[in-house]
Structure 1
Amino acid sequence: MTTRRRTDTPEPEPATLIWERPEPAERPSPAPLSRDRIVRAAMTLADTDGLDAVSVRKVAAALDAGPMRLYGYLSTKDELLDLMAEAVHAEIADALAHDPPAADWRTTLHAHAHHMRDAALRHEWFADLLGGRPHLGPAALTTLDAALAAAARHPGLADPDAAFGAVGTLHAYTAGAVRREIAERRAHRATGLDKRQWQTSVGPYLTRMLATGRYPAVARIVAGAKTPDPATAFDTGLRHVLDGIAAVTG
């Protein structure tokens, strides 16, 4: 009986990520290129028609360049999306840098969440990229660093796991809230109805369903609750998250 020698699987070579890969040297051309020009063109397409409108071919056409030229600056569409997300994180980082200095953790994290929401409302497609591939570019790391530094100023978040968990909770709330808000905006555009018109259109159905008595909690809340504007609703939820972090950490 022969025994097959066991061989260890070699570790994969570390990838050279887009953030550390140099751009091609500039060359005279009727359509000069750079990563910044490519990303700005892609963002314009996405701002107008959503992420589905973004492809290397379409971005190249917008820049009056051949698609193969773009592959000198990036390798895949995923890298293009990473660069687009990084550009939005740069907007968030710039907004944070212009905020007045805040000594307390809560003020900084509150501003962090609002800047993320503001950026997502300017670039709705950014919400589609939240929760997917990790954002690891320099600007994304800058915003994460600012949030973690703020969290660490809370005595109850001095432990690294506690700080990371608190910031993760904040990001999860912010991403979920803005994705819901943007989904509602898209739905209203698709139907041609604003929020009040949509509520009027579904009102008779909801009245019939609640009249059955099968949904008493829903009926009670619908009857007594006010409908805040999106900014107020976001801020209220954010306050609950920050209150929860403060209560858990003591």
Structure 2
Amino acid sequence: MAVHTEHHRSHRNGWLRAAVLGANDGIVSTSSLILGVAAASTTQSDIMLAGVAGLVAGAMSMAAGEYVSVSSQSGTEHADLNIERKALAEHYELEQEELAAIYEARGVAPGLARQVAEQLMTNDALGAHARDEIGISDTGQARPLQAALSSAATFITGALMPLLVAWWAPPSLLIPLVALFSLLFLALLGATAAKVGGAPILKATMRVMFWGALAMALTSAIGRVFGVVA
């Protein structure tokens, strides 16, 4: 007999969010920096230097920020697990009752809830409490180094797109081409993320493009003002 299964997408939320955030930041921050510097009437070599500096600084900032953030989460998880480990060693029966009460609250009959709690704790008491009491699972555990490297890699991927356009574009067309291609990259990123995550494609695409266009417009205006003042 065939087993019916559905294909859910919520398990992708963690890595999808990190990938989209990194690539989006890379595109928006680097294109905005390039446009701001270009609007100040600087040379193409200065624009490229600013873009490369922004790429390196942004990638390191993303990696460091993600590492610190996820390390804090990891520390909290380990502290909670140690508390639970001590509670199991000192009050095993009470912890079993607590787990059964959690299942009862979810709609399981009292007798069956106690059975389930007993069997799960016989197999892996700490794992059962970590998953159902604290909300920590093996797939969802914080991994600081992995998060840092992923964020840096996706940021660099996103930042390279407007940077390569700036390198390829003739000076007279640099600003419109970087702006145009950056918006196209953002549209592609938003559509891809929505497709993978099962969200409405048009809404996600327009949202990403709007904020990207706003950031580029503001930095261009600031660059133009400072270019005139200089």
TM-score (norm 1): 0.28
Higher helix share: 2
TM-score (norm 2): 0.30
Larger Rg: 2
Q: Higher relative CO (CA 8 A, sep ≥ 6), structure 1 or 2?
A: 2
